[in-house]
Structure 1
Amino acid sequence: MNDSKNMILAVVLSALVLLGWTWASNKYFPPATPPSTKVEYGKQVALPQPVPQPPKTLQTRAQVLSASPRVQIRTSSLIGSINLKGAQIDDLLLVRQKQTIGRASMPVRLMSPLGAPGAYVAEFGWTAQGTAAPDLNTVWTADSSDLTPGHPVTLSTQMPDGVRYQLKIAVDDGYLFTVRQSALNASGKPIVLRAVGLVSRATKSTDPTTWTNHVGPISVFNDAANYKVDYKTLDEENQRSFNNVNGWLGFTDKYWLTALAPSGGAMSADFRRSPSGGYQGDYALAPQTVAPGQTVTTQARLFAGAKEKAYLDRYEDAGISKLSKSIDWGWFEFFMRPIFKLLLFLFHLTGNFGFAIIGLTLIVRTILFPVAQKQFASMAAMRKVQPKLKAIQARFKDDKARQQQEILKLYQAEKINPAAGCLPIVLQIPVFYALYKVLLVSVEMRHQPFILWIKDLSAPDPLTPLNLFGLLNFNPPTALHIGILPILVGFTQWLSMKLNPQPMDPAQAQVFAIMPWVLIFVFAPFAAGLQLYWITNNVLTLLQQWWLYRKFGLHLADTHPVHS
């Protein structure tokens, strides 16, 4: 099989892996009303209710933030505040992540208070029997006005019957909050308390869920990741419950994550959709009876930030099981993680992810070079027997079956394997797909520049000759927005195929002739980093072909087609 056929095979297989297909079936059953209680631990217990979503008439974020007392959050990764009315973590900006690649771009906002656009909050508290528990209207007292790494803040409040509640909140230099919940029963009678936590958002993520990347509710319970519950699930069912589980739950966007990870034994957990259209994930630990004068304490952690693998791995080591599963690596996780680690290593070595991708391509081609040599040797042998192939075609031009039999006999006699050239392409497909996924889901690749006009390797090439590279005030439709890098993909592919022996079938030769230009449109919507990988691979293929031509004493004339 010649290199042209190999490339077609590569394109077809890559398209099957990368593009796939989607399907959906709509359900029209009326949603059930979520229950307010359920049987658990042998008795009927109250569930933590969804946080009320913001009213239809919204205020500006600044108005909401100034309406209640707050504790300021300041770290190298986060800035924001905690609302002392309701004790909610409801104001978080990701300092090191910008909304766009513009220099004046604002940091990404992850959490926003109730009553403002895009409300997104986290809360820790209790449900209680025999006493009152703090609610959204409770105003807490803080022992400090600032929360910084190494300097936790303690929030306190007391109920009329004497029960005193405390939340000691600590934050690290990354994205992890540790919340120590305690309640002192000074009421003079036994009470039953249950530690709860929730994360609630008023709207769905603006990032779409695709077959390659899960967005929405996410959890790891009993060491098993659950990607099956999504926004559509909650729209149809209103609630999905999990009983007697350990682990964490929350909401994931393409690059951001909020996750609740309680300690202290099994919990019941729920994802739910509120009547006003918001979405919530919550948990409740087992009820505890607290005698007069006793204190009960539990601890939970909240991850709220970017899904940077270094931090996810750090928090896994600290006991949050499989937090890195919040990155949807897919079926080929075992292969993608090493590719990603290698890319990160090359990035730290070069300081540029574009050069890291080029380095990755060089490493892959170096590893596959012995295989490529065998491929080329097989191709050279094919060229040497082309006169014999031509003679067989002429002799049996009216008997195609006999012609194929004689060709197979010739291959066997000359010890030629026409399919030997497929292996290098097949071995590169996992690397190609792994790079595709890394560019798609890893926040480390987000907004990473290369050189010149390539300011974001995770986005398609923005420069197109169709509007004279931006000189014309015209933005081509998405289907026609063909950047310079996709054009270089097609051009280098065309050069590479010109050095290969042309197909003997004229119709097949015509298909192969247009294939490089078809690749321009195929690659146009892909990330610039993926286009860079393919261009580098093509250039290395051209250099390798030129060197091997010289080594085997072949000339370009040997690539001319053999006609029957």
Structure 2
Amino acid sequence: MDNQRNLLLAVVLCGLLLFGWDAGMNYFYPQPKEPVPAEAAAGAPGDSPAAPAKPTREGGLTDPAAIALEERDLETALKSPERVRIDAPELAGSIDLVGARIDDLTLRDHRQTVERDSGPVRLFSPAGTPAQHFAQFGWLGEGVAVPDAKTVWTAEGGPLAPGKPVKLSWNNRSGQVFTIDLSIDDDYMISAKQTVGNISGRPIVVRPFATVSRTSATASTSTYTIHSGPIGYFGDGVDFGTDYDDVAEAGKISPDGAARWIGFTDIYWLSALIPQGTTEVDADFRSLGGGVFRADAIYDPLTVPNGRAISRTTQLFAGAKDADLLGDYEDTGIAGFQNAIDWGWFGVIEKPIHWLLNQLYNLVHNFGVAIILLTVIVRVFMFPIAQKQFASMAAMRAIQPKMKAIQERYKDDKPRQQQEIMALYKSEGVNPLAGCLPILLQIPIFFGLYKVLMLSIDMRHKPFALWIHDLSAPDPAHILNLFGLLPFTPPSFLAIGPLAVLLGISMWATFRLNPPAADPVQAQMFKIMPWILMFVMAPFAAGLLIYWITNNLLTLAQQSYLYSKHPQLRAQAIKDKEDREREAKREAKAKS
């Protein structure tokens, strides 16, 4: 009766895990609904978009009305003649001469979706649009006319490209000339040299500043494992502890420590300001209301004597969080820039996995195959440990009669029983925990690969084969709707694809090959667990399932080999199974 009750409880807990997991995945990683054509969603001019939808993993607008309004606003704003074009290898867009705003940036090498005609990812959009996100450079001053958001600047040069700088200038007609010299590299870094020249006949005091403003409506999902939101390097490390809600509640947050860079991050994208050298700045995050936030870098006051000019240079990174590229920028002196990727506690494992995956990809030119090769390398590395595990299992089998004798002899004295068993382990040279070591070592590797697949821009939209077009996304094929033949999308807890089924089958096979558990309830749990995990793992990235399936297949091959090297384990496992079956038949016969 106790066994039946325990089994029923186990089934109920597994059901709660299954449905609870689905609810959790929908909460933390909501998926946008199928997009509605812009023409159908546009509505009348001047209509406001609906309230922002819950963030998705990649971020961006998901409400059809907001998407249509964004397209309409961009079409109007980007037609302005008061713009200077940006034409760099990785960035395209324009600079608004009204306010000297960099507010139009798209990433040439990254598409919005896996579809090849989906268009480039848009990172920056002008102020007032539903997806507003832009950078601005200027000055604060007392007793001196400084440029503001409505100032119309004069441009020299253009388009902005590597080796082709653009100079913006404005004369306040009171003896001061303000200039912003913009340059760009081959990747995502824009440099802005802000200079003020003074010929007014008296000294003036100004404070150069740089800001990045954005709406949280386009933010990617932020979870306890992957940060999205305000970010920066303050003091001696990167701060992942501040989110949009914190800033909205406080109104203004000024992190402790000297700011080496400050901005906003999504899972894949980063917009950050890097002040000049080790120059002190006042760095803070502000809520501007309506879900709009700003990161400020305000330099200390500068006294500009008559007849002199003083400059400050700020860099703006606006692009994809490519680990190697961020590392290259870090090598130039930008502190902790590679840690803009939220590697977390297992960064010491994740970074080598990321490096090895990239090396394997360069070799085979397919990240799916690279993941399979990575799994093989991990298993080869762990094979000596697995051999020790099986040797320990064989030793444990050999001392079973002695253990049973001790348990029988001291059945009424549990402390003495435990003491004698430990003495037996020591005298026989057996470590009962040795079998757990491979599992414990696999946990950080599995989590490390999970973080790499979730965070690395290298994995985004990378195909494997057949129907797997994005290894960082779940398996798109669903058995329940006959792989798309039926006109509905199953709920995520029933969205089982071929990869999930292969995972369940391969895990069931590995459990079958292991020695059966002595406890009947535990044995039943092992029978159910592969199929529960099949449902739990289905919403995970396809690349992660490929890793686990490959790992299970290699485990089967490894266990078959090791059983051949330790035949006593196989023989004992068969004997134990036959004994349990005979015992179960006797119990059933006695009850009848």
Tell me what 2:510 maps to: 496
| Cα displacement (A) at 1:117 | 2.4
Question: 8 Å contact 1:270–1:281 — kept in the other structure?
Answer: yes
**Counterparts of 1:300 and 1:398 in 2: how far apart (Å)?**
75
Specify the SS of the correspondent of 1:331.
helix
Classify 1:414/1:270 alpha carbon distance in 2 versus 1 (closer, same or farther; 3 Å).
Answer: closer
Classify 1:448/1:390 alpha carbon distance in 2 versus 1 (closer, same or farther; 3 Å).
Answer: same
Classify 1:211/1:518 alpha carbon distance in 2 versus 1 (closer, same or farther; 3 Å).
Answer: same
**Counterparts of 2:98 and 2:81 in 1: how far apart (Å)?**
6
| Cα displacement (A) at 1:382 | 3.7
| Cα displacement (A) at 1:495 | 0.7
Unaligned runs of 5+ in 2: 1-13, 26-65, 584-592
**Counterparts of 1:357 and 1:175 in 2: how far apart (Å)?**
29
| Cα displacement (A) at 1:525 | 1.8
| Cα displacement (A) at 1:404 | 7.2
Tell me what 1:187 maps to: 200
| Cα displacement (A) at 1:73 | 0.7
**Counterparts of 1:418 and 1:236 in 2: how far apart (Å)?**
53
1:479-525 Cα shifts (integer Å, max 9, x gaps): 21122112211111111111111112222211111111111122112
Structure 2 counterparts to residues 427-466 of structure 1, below 5 A: 427-466=441-480
Tell me what 2:293 maps to: 279
Structure 2 counterparts to residues 471-482 of structure 1, below 5 A: 471-482=485-496
Question: 8 Å contact 2:217–2:291 — kept in the other structure?
Answer: no
1:296-349 Cα shifts (integer Å, max 9, x gaps): 111110000000112111111122111112111112222221221111111112
**Counterparts of 1:410 and 1:247 in 2: how far apart (Å)?**
59
Of 124-133 and 211-220, more deviation after overlay is shown by 124-133
Aligned match of 2:110 in 97, 100, 109? 97
Question: 8 Å contact 1:68–1:83 — kept in the other structure?
Answer: no
Question: 8 Å contact 2:180–2:194 — kept in the other structure?
Answer: yes
Aligned residue type for 1:94:
L
Tell me what 1:147 maps to: 160
**Counterparts of 2:449 and 2:372 in 1: how far apart (Å)?**
12
- Answer 1 or 2: which has greater helix percent: 2
Aligned residue type for 1:73:
I
Tell me whether 1:255 sits opposite 2:268 in the alignment: yes
Tell me what 1:28 maps to: none
Tell me whether 1:234 sits opposite 2:247 in the alignment: yes
Question: 8 Å contact 1:142–1:155 — kept in the other structure?
Answer: yes
**Counterparts of 1:496 and 1:289 in 2: how far apart (Å)?**
73
TM-score, normalization: structure 1?
A: 0.85
Of 554-563 and 155-164, more deviation after overlay is shown by 554-563
Question: 8 Å contact 2:203–2:305 — kept in the other structure?
Answer: yes
| Cα displacement (A) at 1:197 | 0.5
1:381-405 Cα shifts (integer Å, max 9, x gaps): 3445567778888x78987959878
Question: 8 Å contact 1:151–1:170 — kept in the other structure?
Answer: yes
Structure 2 counterparts to residues 387-406 of structure 1, below 5 A: none
Aligned match of 1:159 in 154, 167, 172? 172
Tell me what 1:115 maps to: 128
Tell me what 2:33 maps to: none
| Cα displacement (A) at 1:261 | 0.7
Question: 8 Å contact 1:223–1:247 — kept in the other structure?
Answer: no
1:512-561 Cα shifts (integer Å, max 9, x gaps): 11111111122112111111111111111111111112223358554233
CA RMSD of aligned residues (A): 2.8
Specify the SS of the correspondent of 1:421.
helix
Unaligned runs of 5+ in 1: 1-11, 23-53
Specify the SS of the correspondent of 1:164.
strand
Tell me what 1:484 maps to: 498
**Counterparts of 1:400 and 1:499 in 2: how far apart (Å)?**
36
Aligned match of 1:378 in 381, 384, 392? 392
Tell me what 1:131 maps to: 144
Tell me whether 1:326 sits opposite 2:346 in the alignment: no
**Counterparts of 2:540 and 2:442 in 1: how far apart (Å)?**
17
Structure 2 counterparts to residues 540-555 of structure 1, below 5 A: 540-553=554-567
Classify 1:76/1:400 alpha carbon distance in 2 versus 1 (closer, same or farther; 3 Å).
Answer: farther
1:211-248 Cα shifts (integer Å, max 9, x gaps): 00111111102332112221011111110125772411
The percentage of aligned residue pairs carrying the same residue is 49
| Cα displacement (A) at 1:175 | 0.3
Structure 2 counterparts to residues 23-62 of structure 1, below 5 A: 60-62=73-75
TM-score, normalization: structure 2?
A: 0.81
| Cα displacement (A) at 1:128 | 1.7
Of 397-406 and 200-209, more deviation after overlay is shown by 397-406
1:342-364 Cα shifts (integer Å, max 9, x gaps): 11111112211111111211111
**Counterparts of 2:201 and 2:307 in 1: how far apart (Å)?**
7
Tell me whether 1:171 sits opposite 2:184 in the alignment: yes
**Counterparts of 1:403 and 1:510 in 2: how far apart (Å)?**
28
Tell me whether 1:349 sits opposite 2:363 in the alignment: yes
| Cα displacement (A) at 1:409 | 6.9
Aligned residue type for 1:122:
A
